[in-house]
Amino acid sequence: MSDSTLLTDSMQNAPHTQPFDLETDVKSLREKLALFNPSSSADCLAMRPNIHTALEALNSYTAEMDRIVASYTKLAAERTELEKHYARAVWLCSPLSRLVPDVLREIFKHVTNTQQYSLEDHHSSPLRLTHVCRAWRSVAFAHTSLWASIKLQEHEYSDFNDNESGLEKAVKFHLERSGSSPLTIFIGSDNYAVMSLLNAERHRWRKCTTTASVYRYGDKKPPRYAALEELELRQRGGTVHFIDTPRLRSYSGPLDGTFLAWHQLTSVAITYGEVQLSKIVELLSYCVKLDSLRVDYPTNDIKSMPAAADTIPAYPRLRKVRLVCGNLNFKSVLLVFFSSFTAPALASLDICISCEAGKSKWSQNLTKVLSKFLSHSPALTALALKNMPIPVGSLRDLFACAPAVEHLVWWEMQNGYNRSNLSALCSTLHQLTSRGDGEELGRDVLPRLTRLEISGGLAKPRPLQHYPGYSRKNTDSSAEQPEPAKLIRSRAADGGKLRHVVLEYLRECDMDDDVREELRSLLESFVVREVVKKKRDVFQYDDSESEMGSGSEMDESEEYADDFSYYGSHMEGFGGMGGMYY
């Protein structure tokens, strides 16, 4: 008989012992089994009781684990049931549960408008809302407009890239749920099946943001978009595809090669492709209903400004203008642009130099042209000057021609106060009218100013000895630079009209806490933002530390260069306005 047979029989015929105690007996048993190394059959026979005990221990472990699992399963089920009743009770006590469907619908519309996820990354705002509760699901499915926003944007990790039928089903589901509601379309990827579905519903398109893919498929003849009101083309070249749009009112995209019913547009933004100022001037003559105009990076191709003021056309409907320039030709562009038309009803003006312009000096002619334009815009209430190298004297002249301004926006590209032109603004707005005895009466620069936004250029100057090339003989300790806090205090205290201020720091705010509290007590709203994004639309801040410049204010005593001397090497010939349709 073998040893294994004897061991098995011994375990089966072993006398009944007391149940194994896991807490007291397992340690010694584990040591015996771990050290067991038999040299004879006698050793194996001696180990048989321990093996039998180990088997009992294993059975005890299994029984204890089964008991714990059963207890856990029971507790988990009880917790799940309680959690369901708890969530229901909390929901019933929540104010959201008592919102009427119409209010819920407006909230849902806001969510879908602000969180337009692409269908290609499996996100759909209205679909996620339907998973909250039965009431929300009912409201979401009952209002077709919630499903009328369709965004298609390629995503690197989207499994729809490998499964186009899934994307097609998602688009078809949204189109079916949207019923007959007007559609908002964003097309940023190519998919023939999806484009076929969308093109079949083009009569419902109300807003469209797209690349060339929207007209890469289908008929060669431009189709009719009967309901299209807003169009944005994110491409450099124009197209004739959207020429038949009887309800189009807003356009953003390239100008060259774009054929539209310009005469019916109320908002135009030339944001892509190259554009000459002569074509912008021509565009204004066609857009007789224009209310809003934006032009990004135009090039100047006009050799001379209008000779007489009576030849400058006026556009009484134009209420909003935004101009973005580069640093090389901003003077010539500003001169020609603002001497080419007037806007008597202009309410908002935004001028931006999107990159460093510190080496370009301001000119006296620029001050004259802008002052003249502002004086013909008596309704101007909002003015934005972004990275504009305007010296103090010129800035005072400009502000004197815009007395109705209530909202002023000032952006600086640099982080530090001593490297920016913010001191020019502070010096200008800090001016007070006074009587002969020195008693202050009021503010004579922008007297209606109630809102002020300053972004960049707010950081305190570093000690001068930190800068390379520092020399005591080159500093003037008696000259005290005005600070933004002093400016705010002078415009808000003692009857001042300034009530709302926003300060945006490129890094952390270094304003003392007591100063912040004082300013907050003077204003109705005081917002301080820190570490703002370096890139904002076309504008990019530069918060890098470099050596100290020669000063932030311009020297107006220097002789002004000829404003049109720059044109020689950058002149382009006149030409017809390709793509104009009216």
Across the chain, what does the average pLDDT equal?
78
Highest mean pLDDT among 236-245, 333-342, 411-420: 333-342
pLDDT of 535 higher than 50: yes
Among 248-252, 385-389, 471-475, the minimum mean pLDDT is found in 471-475
Q: Return the minimum-mean-pLDDT range out of 484-498, 508-522, 542-556.
A: 542-556
> Cβ distance 501 to 525 under 8 Å?
yes
- More confident: 394 or 98: 394
The Cα 147–Cα 125 span in angstroms is 9
Q: Give mean pLDDT, residues 83-95.
A: 84
pTM, rounded to two decimals: 0.72
Residue 58: pLDDT over 70: yes
Q: How confident is residue 574, by pLDDT bands cut at 50, 70 and 90?
A: very low
- Please tell me the distance from the alpha carbon of residue 7 to that of residue 204, in angstroms, as a whole number: 86
Lowest mean pLDDT among 83-97, 113-127, 334-348, 534-548: 113-127
Q: 429 or 121, which is more confident?
A: 429
pLDDT digits (tens, 9 = 90+) for 282-297: 999 999 999 999 999 9
Asked which of 147-151, 163-167, 461-465, 542-546 is least confident by mean pLDDT, the reply is 461-465
Average pLDDT over residues 371-393: 94
Using only C-alpha atoms, the chain has a radius of gyration, in whole angstroms, of: 37
pLDDT computed for residue 100 by the predictor: 80
Domain ranges of the chain: 3-93
Residue 209 clears pLDDT 50, i.e. is over it? yes
Percent of all residues in the chain with a pLDDT value above 90, rounded to a whole number: 33
H or E element that contains 59: helix 41-93
pLDDT grade for 443, boundaries at 50, 70 and 90: low
Answer with the residue of higher pLDDT: 178 or 358: 178
Average pLDDT in the 217-236 region?
A: 85
- Can you tell me the distance from the alpha carbon of 51 to that of 10, in angstroms, rounded to the nearest whole number? 10
pLDDT at 398 over 80: yes
Residue 23 half-sphere exposure toward CB, CA atoms < 13 A: 0
Q: What local confidence, expressed as pLDDT, does residue 306 receive?
A: 60
Q: Which of 69-73, 487-491, 505-509 has the highest mean pLDDT?
A: 69-73
Torsion 557-561-564-569 (CA) sign: negative
Question: Which letter does DSSP use for residue 493 in this model?
Answer: S
Q: Which residue has the higher pLDDT, 263 or 572?
A: 263
Q: Which two tokens stand for residue 552?
A: 């932030």
Contacts of 407 (CB under 8 A, 6+ apart): 381, 382, 383, 449, 450, 451, 453
**Top-confidence range, 49-53, 355-359, 446-450:** 446-450
Residue 279 CB partners (closer than 8 Å, separation 6+): 255, 256, 577
Q: What is the pLDDT of residue 108?
A: 79
Please compute the mean of the pLDDT values over residues 95-123 and round it to a whole number: 71
Q: What percent of the chain has pLDDT over 70?
A: 75
Tell me which amino acid residue 35 is. L
For 382-449, what is the HEC assignment?
EEEEECCCCCHHHHHHHHHCCCCCCEEEEECCECEHHHCCHHHHHHHHCCCEECCCCCEEECCCCCCC
Alpha-carbon separation of residue 329 from 335, 362, 414 (angstroms): 10, 12, 20
Between these two residues, 582 and 417, which has the higher pLDDT value? 417
pLDDT of residue 440 exceeding 80:
no
pLDDT band at 20 (very low <50, low <70, confident <90, very high): low
Q: Which stretch, 4-8, 73-77, 195-199, has highest mean pLDDT?
A: 73-77
Is pLDDT at 480 greater than 60 in this prediction? no
Instruction: Quote the pLDDT of residue 286.
Output: 92
Beta-strand (E) ranges in 183-288?
183-187, 205-210, 230-233, 250-253, 267-270
pLDDT at 76: 94
Cβ atoms within 10 Å, residue 189: 20
Token reading at 251: 């356009």
pLDDT tens, position by position, 131-172: 777 788 888 888 888 888 888 775 544 444 445 577 788 888
43-57, 66-80, 555-569: range with lowest mean pLDDT: 555-569
Q: What is the rounded distance in angstroms from the CA atom of residue 524 to the CA atom of residue 501?
A: 9
Specify the range with the lowest mean pLDDT, choosing from 27-41, 72-86, 113-127.
113-127
CB-CB contact of 519 with 483 (8 Å): no
Residue 569 has pLDDT above 50, yes or no: no
Beta strand pairing status for 230-233 and 440-442? unpaired
- Listed range (24-38, 86-100, 537-551) with the worst mean pLDDT: 537-551
The tokens for 387 are: 């990275």
Distance (Å, rounded) from C-alpha 239 to C-alpha 242? Answer: 7
Can you give the pLDDT at residue 77?
A: 94
Torsion of CA 28, 31, 37, 41, to 10 degrees: 20
Q: Is 519 helix (H, G, I), strand (E, B) or coil?
A: helix
